[in-house]
Amino acid sequence: MFYVLLSLLSQERCGTEIMEYTDDTTAGRVTLGPGTLYTILAKFQEERLIEETAVEGRKRTYRITERGRALYRSELGRLRLCVADGERAGQRALAGEELPGLGSGEEEP
Amino acid sequence: MEERKTVASEADRTAEDWAFCPSQYDAAAIETWLEDRAREGWQLKRFTNWGGKFEKAAPRPTRYRLTPMTRKEKAPDPERLELCAAQGWQYAATRYELFHVWRTDDALAPEMDTDPVTQAEGYRWVRRRLIGGLAAASLLCAVLLAFLAYAYFRPGGYLLNMAESDAPLEGLLRLIVGPLVLIVLGLQLWGMDRTLRHLRTGIPLERPAPYRTRQRVTAVLTVVGVLAYFYLILFSYLVDDFRDIRGDEAALARATYVDMTVLNPAAEGAELWKAETKRLELIPRMDRVGQLTVDAAGSVTGSVETAYYRLLTVGLAEELERELVGRYAERANFPGNETRISMESVPAGDLDAFYLKDWPEEHRQSAVARLGRSVLYVIYNGPGDLREHTDYLAALLS
């Protein structure tokens, strides 16, 4: 969901372009299946997060709405906090694990 | 040799097969079924009401995926077709107003749904349709139960009305078909909600999904349901009549009825003007027989009509006995004669119950007799008294 909004931040795109953008941006780490993409596009249109701007033959182009931008910002903030939480907790856990390890390591020949 | 191979492959390509779909709403089960069929050399051509039509193809591993519809549409929109094609997925068919079906032979093609939570979101329309189906089935169930309630409460007696107008299995089917449809749809809704709960917590659909047992159960229920529907709607009225056995000596010999010559030994040449039989689940044996005697001038000098019922249980026989006694009283209310005439209980040691109505001036009597599970209703016009023949009636009913 995040990458669909992200792909439309800078320009209007069609479904294929959204998939390609996601694939390129994440270097193939995030794959957006066509079934998933279409469910998201339908849901986002229904929630007025994106809107259709043009239909050329088989191609439909979408753009993000103000509501969609607001959700993107909110989601970005949430993800930043998630990462910060993860880093803090991870550092504490790592520090706790390393202390005994270091101590025992020094005594070994 | 090469030419023969071409002819064979052409015949294979045009060969078609049909199979029951294991489920209406379980995408993973349908996908697994379609993939198994592809490995057997059958590719989906289209869906029919209760199954799928397949065409012969080279056996190969094919991935099938169902995407739930988000609105009413006959086929996916062109952009979606192109997008899926670009990812290696070909549109195969549409499951009527529920799913679009896609397939790919490319093992590297990305999964159709890559996010279970989003996939669950796509099921909203399909779930609404299932709930709509459940509501319609509830209505059908209510109508069928209303028929039963009407049959039970309408004047004349439930068992007697059933005996006269029901076809074999009619009452039983009305009782079970509606609730059966409700149970099946309820189970499907339960299964779908269970799947959606898994998807919403990020667990992808489990594939391969077991489907063979469900496919067999679905096939049996569908066949039974369709047969029951057509039987109730179209055919039951063709088989709800009594069967005339006047020309069937063997059936006539098995029929139970009061013989005119026993009641009136002077009656000679009694003519059998009616003899018919019928079987129902609650009343496994019913015989209706009528005899009359005529004089030289052709006038009727005497008659006897018997309705014999053997019921499934003694309790049912007692209920029928009450209905016969009640109905007889109502039938006495001829137009212009508002007197309600009841039958009177008469002690008869040979029988469990014996009721009689007597019109001495007209030499006419009618009686209800019961012994165990057997009940007899007799109308007699002629000399003599049914009270003197209770041993004979008991012998008939035993």
CA-based nearest residue in chain A for residue B100: A35
Give contacts of B67 with chain A, Cβ < 8 Å: 35, 38-39
Closest to B138 (Cα-Cα) out of B94, B184, B104, B107: B184
Residue whose structure tokens are 């390609």: A20
Q: What type of residue sits at position B325?
A: V
**Which structure tokens are listed for B338?**
């508002």
The predicted pLDDT at position B6 comes to 45
User: What mean pLDDT is reported for chain B?
Assistant: 87
Are the beta carbons of B398 and B319 closer than 8 angstroms?
Answer: no
Contact B118 A59 (CB under 8 A): no
B115 touches chain A (CB under 8 A): yes
pLDDT in tens, B113-164: 999 999 998 898 889 988 988 888 888 888 878 877 887 777 678 888 888 8
Calculate mean pLDDT across residues B381-387: 88
The predicted pLDDT at position B30 comes to 95
Contact A34 B89 (CB under 8 A): yes
- Position B348 pLDDT exceeds 90: no
| Distance in Å, alpha carbon of B37 to nearest chain A alpha carbon | 23
Q: Which long-range contacts (CB under 8 A, 24 or more apart) does B138-145 make?
A: B138/B182, B140/B178, B140/B181, B141/B178, B141/B179, B141/B181, B141/B182, B142/B178, B143/B178, B144/B174, B144/B175, B144/B177, B144/B178, B145/B174, B145/B178
pLDDT in tens, B61-96: 999 999 998 778 888 888 889 889 989 999 999 988
CA-based nearest residue in chain A for residue B122: A39
Predicted TM-score (pTM) of the model is 0.72
Calculate mean pLDDT across residues B300-318: 93
Closest to A17 (Cα-Cα) out of A48, A83, A62: A62
